[in-house]
Amino acid sequence: MLNHPENENPDSQQEEQHSFPVTAESRALVLVVEDNPQMARMIAATLAPLYRVITACDGQDGLEQTLALHPDLILCDVSMPRMSGEQLVTMLRAQPDFDDVPIVVLSGRTDEQLRIQLLRAGAQDYLIKPFNREELRLRVANLLVMRQVRQVLQREVTVQSRDLVTLASKVTLQQRELTQTLSLLQEREARVLDQAKELEVRGRQLERANKALTTRNRQLDHMQSRLRAIVDTSQDAMLFLTPDGIPAEVNMRFTDFFGIDANTVLSQSANHLTALLKAQFAAEVSLDEALAWSTTDQERIFAAQQVQMEPTRREFELFSLPVLNLDQTYIGRLYVWRDVTHEREVDRMKSEFVCLASHELRTPLTSIKGYVDLLLTDETVGELSELQREFLEIAQNNARRLMNITNDLLDLSRMESGKMELHRKPLDVNLLIHKLMPSFQPGWDAKRQKFTLHLPEEARMVLGDAEGVMQILSNLLSNAHKYTLEEGHIDLSVETVGPVAWISVTDSGIGLSTEEQAQLFTRFYRAHNTATEAVGGTGLGLVITRSMVEMQGGEMQVSSEPGHGSTFRFTLPLAESLGGS
Ligand code: ADP
């Protein structure tokens, strides 16, 4: 049975000062569990001005109302039908939702033991019947205040613990981040350590390489200074130009010869250097060509003669040759000046001696040959026996041979000592050839050799020394006759090519191997074959012939094949190409 005696308010004015809580809705709900209706009504009346009051008629009713309405405080009698106060307290305290609802036990004075039990079971306070109404209100108010304070504290604790949880989770998060950062740092540290180790290894390698390099550099320096010393000690002056024509190396001998120190040479352009050198040399036709620093020419090797006039007179042989690296790349051109002053002087003295000797030999030799010829031909001398004639013919042959040798030596030494004088003028080669032919005809007839002449229809004048040209032609025709067997062919042709006339003597004779051809123009060289041995000769004819050709501004060529004859050809400049003078 439910009673709601909230409006039964016998002394409401007195209760105002204890009001708690203030508004009707927020007023605390007090459940009065009392089987005595009068008592229940009295209690309800006492509390109603301050609280919302509900009543239950016994423990069972009290439990049901508690579960349904959640009172803020319970006033509970001890002895009640159906469910005692003790059972109610025990059951409520077993429910977590109600363990903070204050329970005030209302007991009689005799129930002391029971009251203690109830307090143990979870009741907060007790009132001994009959009790003062004011005490009831105070106790209820105290308990409610305490409960509210506890709830406020509880909420605070909950809020704070929630903050703490948030904080803790933040801390956990930060801790996790820190842990991650730490492990990243550790990884990085490990990597840095690895790199440091690698760097250390590399450093050691570099140090070793550096040492090796230093040693190699020292060796290179040593080699370089040794090479420099060797190059400087050389008797020849050396100058090295890069492919761009820039002076790059020069030795000490260069400075000795030309008085231009290395620094000056290396700071000059090739053209300026040419000007400096030219001022020291005798003006020669070949000088410009010799000093044209043909650094772009990667193949040609050339040599030239130069005569230095200032500061000292020196005769040089200048060689110029391309320089290739080990890998065969062209790195520049080397110019070498060899001082041949002394050799030239000795050569000149030798030539002069030979010239003098041959000249002196020629006079008695001419006399010997003349008298032998007279003995053999002049009938006034008297009859000669067969044996005397034979001996005199041997003497005549050898005198003739000796005469040839002497003449050749005289010619050669004159040429070499520069004493041969040439008088170059326009010549009709055809005419010269026709003049020569009669002297050779008997020889050709004797060996039944066929001579053919190939002359251009229109004769062109060449520039040359008549005697010299005759000597060249004689030597070549004489050789062709000598080294061609009986019934062989000899051809002489003249043709004009550009500014020169090519004059060729071709024979069907014994021919020459490549090796023999390479030595043809060496003094006293004679090929080893029966034909050469059978005919007389000095081995000087071709040397004289070529010099004679070159002295007249021509060049000479040979082509030959053993057993198939030879062609000796030479050029003479056309008179008109040189202005006819
Ligand atoms: P020489 O005829 O007095 O021996 P040369 O200087 O004229 O001297 O010739 C040198 C050598 O060249 C000769 O001994 C000969 O062996 C060779 N020779 C010259 N001309 C011919 C030729 N037309 N055919 C073959 N061999 C030749």
**pLDDT at site 508:** 97
Both tokens of residue 66?
């508690």
Does position 2 have pLDDT exceeding 80, yes or no? no
- Mean per-residue pLDDT, 416-438: 89
Q: What confidence category does residue 578 fall into, taking pLDDT thresholds of 50, 70 and 90? A: low
Distance CA 55, CA 1 (A): 9
The rounded Å distance from CA 438 to ligand 1 centre is 22
The SS3 of residue 132 is coil
pLDDT of residue 25: 63
Q: Is 538:408 a contact under the CB 8 Å cutoff? A: yes
Residue of the CA atom closest to atom 7 of ligand 1: 541
Determine which of 34-38, 121-125, 273-277 has the lowest per-residue pLDDT on average: 273-277
The rounded Å distance from CA 161 to ligand 1 centre is 131
CB atoms within 10 A of CB 10: 13
pLDDT band at 23 (very low <50, low <70, confident <90, very high): low
Whether residue 490 has its Cβ less than 6 Å from ligand 1: no
Strand partners, 53: 30
pLDDT of res. 292: 63
Q: Is the Cβ atom of 472 under 6 angstroms away from ligand 1?
A: no
Average the pLDDT over 354-375 and give the result.
90
- Angle, nearest 10°, between helix axes 429-446 and 466-482? 30
Closest protein CA for atom 18 of ligand 1: 479
Q: Does 6 score more than 50 pLDDT?
A: no
| Tens of pLDDT, residues 519-563 | 999 988 999 988 888 887 889 999 999 999 999 999 999 999 999
- pLDDT at residue 63 greater than cutoff 90: yes
Q: What is the pLDDT of residue 579?
A: 54
Look at residue 580 and tell me whether its pLDDT is greater than 60: no
pLDDT at residue 18 is higher than 70: no
Predicted confidence (pLDDT) at residue 479 exceeds the cutoff of 90: yes
Q: What is the pLDDT, as a whole number, of residue 130? A: 85
* C-beta of 526 in contact with ligand 1 (< 6 A): yes
Residue 485 phi/psi, 5-degree rounding, is: -70, 175
- Is the pLDDT at 347 greater than 80? The verdict is yes
Structure tokens at 128: 């001994």
Return the DSSP state at 338: E
pLDDT digits (tens, 9 = 90+) for 235-265: 999 999 888 888 999 999 999 999 999 999 9
Q: Is residue 541 lining ligand 1, measured as CB closer than 6 Å?
A: yes
pLDDT over 80 (residue 17): no
Whether 480 is in the pocket of ligand 1, judged by its Cβ within 6 Å, is: yes
Mind listing the pLDDT tens digit for each residue in 93-147? 888 888 889 999 988 777 778 778 888 888 988 888 888 899 899 999 999 988 8
Atom of ligand 1 nearest to the CA of 529: 16
Q: Is 494 helix (H, G, I), strand (E, B) or coil?
A: strand
Is the beta carbon of 538 within 6 A of some atom in ligand 1?
A: yes
Residue 430: count of CB within 10 angstroms of its CB = 16
Residue 214 has pLDDT above 50, yes or no: yes
Instruction: Find where tokens 């009251």 sit.
Output: 115
- Residues facing 318 on adjacent strands: 304, 337
Please answer whether residues 312 and 223 qualify as being in contact, where contact means their C-beta atoms are separated by less than 8 angstroms. Answer: no
How many CB atoms lie under 10 A from the CB of residue 368?
A: 16
The span from the CA of 59 to the CA of 65, in Å, is 10
What whole-number distance in Å separates Cα of residue 253 and Cα of residue 231? 9
Q: Produce one character per residue of 522-548: b if its CB has 16 or more CB atoms within 10 Å, e if not.
A: eeeebbeeeebeeeebbbbbbbbbbbb
Which tokens belong to 203?
């450093």
C-alpha closest to that of 502 among 528, 476, 541:
476
Res. 324 pLDDT band, cuts 50 70 90: very high
- The closest residue, in CA terms, to atom 21 on ligand 1 is 479
Ligand 1 pocket member 542 (CB < 6 A): yes
Is the pLDDT at 10 greater than 70? The verdict is no
pLDDT above 70: percentage of residues in the chain:
92
Nearest residue (by CA) to ligand 1, atom 8, is 539
The answer, yes or no, to whether the previous bond of 37 is cis (omega within 30 of 0) is: no
- Give the pLDDT band of residue 291 (cuts 50, 70, 90): low
Site to probe by mutation for ligand 1, drawn from 474, 476, 483 as the one with most ligand atoms within 8 Å of Cβ, is: 483
pLDDT exceeds cutoff 60 at 284: no
